[in-house]
Amino acid sequence: MTEQSTTNLFDSVARCLAEPDPERKVAATLQTAEDWEAGRLNADAALAGPIRDQPGRPERLELVAPRQLVARKLTSRDGRAAMIHAVAHIEFNAINLALDAVQRFRDMPLEFHTDWLRIAAEEARHFMLMRERLNDLGRDYGDFPAHDGLWEMARRTAADPLVRMALVPRVLEARGLDVTPGMIARFEGVDDTETGGRLGVILAEEVGHVAAGSHWFKTLCIERGRDPAHHYFELLDDYMTGEIRGPLNREERLRAGFDDSELDRLEALCRRS
């Protein structure tokens, strides 16, 4: 282990979260996941340092309001690069979100930390899939502006793992299950099967990420004596004002822990939004 290393899981994960350099963040995340799997880290919250509230990001990355982002056509090289950059940014944020779940919710069971550290490692690989594709097109992460909506939800759900599990995996990440098949088709429609194939890899693994969120949301609801189906929609009303975008990818959402009655209610919300 290096001089900067630690045997405490939460300190190691917090350091990964704080790392602004994408390549070093990915490497540190993968190493921490490997160390945890190998039993080289302990989860002693009493000996861990403070929770970190802000993730590290590249200084060159410009964050703007969503309305300032300009849609570009995939028929141009820059248009494809801009779309790939948007996905890379989502995956970079997803690394931070998974890491934050581990270092923030320290009282959760060890299985929770195992799940979200594994997910952080998979998100790191997803980010690299998109960054490599950006590099193929002569671009890199930070070449286009991006918005901070994903991390804004992390801030809003920082006080409670139940709320985090409901709204990040089961709303924001689940939306990726809905839109990614269409993105794959669009890239394949402009003969960019390489990007389409990489998005297919991401889609297959994201189902498991949403499923982990479903599992822990339902587990926490049951522990607190709440009905998961009822409480989920209460949280949507509180945090999302009941607005859900469609159409939904029912097949993948069912695999990710949603049930038919939930999806029927969500589709009704989509029609009213």
Distance of CA 150 to the CA centre of its chain: 8
User: What tens digit of pLDDT does each residue of 110-123 get?
Assistant: 999 999 999 999 99
Q: How far is CA 45 from CA 7, 35, 109, 232, in A?
A: 12, 17, 12, 29
Q: What pLDDT, on the 0 to 100 scale, is given for residue 2?
A: 38
The answer to whether residue 4 scores a pLDDT higher than 60 is no
> How does the average pLDDT of the chain come out, rounded?
94
Q: Is the pLDDT of residue 248 over 60?
A: yes
pLDDT for 114: 98
- Determine the average pLDDT of the residues in 50-64: 93
Place of tokens 């394949």: 188
Q: Is the pLDDT of residue 271 over 90?
A: no
On the question of a cis peptide bond just before residue 247, with omega within 30 degrees of 0, the verdict is yes
pLDDT at 1 over 50: no
* Of 222, 218, 107, the residue nearest 169 (C-alpha): 218
pLDDT digit string (tens) for 175-227?
A: 999 999 999 999 999 999 999 999 999 999 999 999 999 999 999 999 999 99
Tell me what pLDDT residue 3 has: 36
**Model confidence at 242, in pLDDT bands (50, 70, 90)?**
low
Q: What is the pLDDT averaged over residues 81-95? A: 96
pLDDT band at 51 (very low <50, low <70, confident <90, very high): very high
Using alpha carbons only, give the angle 16, 96, 258 rounded to the nearest 5 degrees: 135
Domains of the chain, residue spans:
9-48+75-272
pTM: 0.94
The CATH code of the domain at 9-48+75-272 is: 1.20.1260
Predicted confidence (pLDDT) at residue 39 exceeds the cutoff of 50: yes
